Amino acid sequence: MLTDLIEDPSADHGAERDALAQDVFARVMSQVEGTLALDLERRLAQHLAPQVHAAVAGALGDLRPELARTIGNAVAEAMARRQVK
């Protein structure tokens, strides 16, 4: 009886209901995806930052001897050029 007051059972509102349901679904998904995307990005950055930092520090540590040799060679070459002039 209550549903008869709200909606006429003889009327066919299927297309309207489907359109409304699709619109509501699209809006909810858009809001949820936006919220989840921001939260996921923040959490991912929190989890990856220490790993990226460690990877960069490790790579720099591996390159340190080569970097020191390169700097030493450049200084020695500069000093040799200066003595030649």
Asked if pLDDT for residue 78 goes beyond 90, the answer is yes
Q: Provide the pLDDT for residue 73.
A: 93
Are the C-beta atoms of residues 13 and 7 closer than 8 Å to each other? Answer: yes
Confidence of residue 13 (pLDDT cuts 50, 70, 90): low
What is d(CA 32, CA 25) in angstroms, rounded to the nearest whole number? Answer: 10
pLDDT of 16 reads 81
Q: Which residues contact 13 (CB under 8 A, 6 or more apart)?
A: 7
**Please, which pLDDT band fits residue 11 given cuts at 50, 70 and 90?**
low
Calpha distance 80→65 (Å, rounded) = 22
pTM: 0.42
CA angle 50, 66, 52 (to 5 degrees): 10
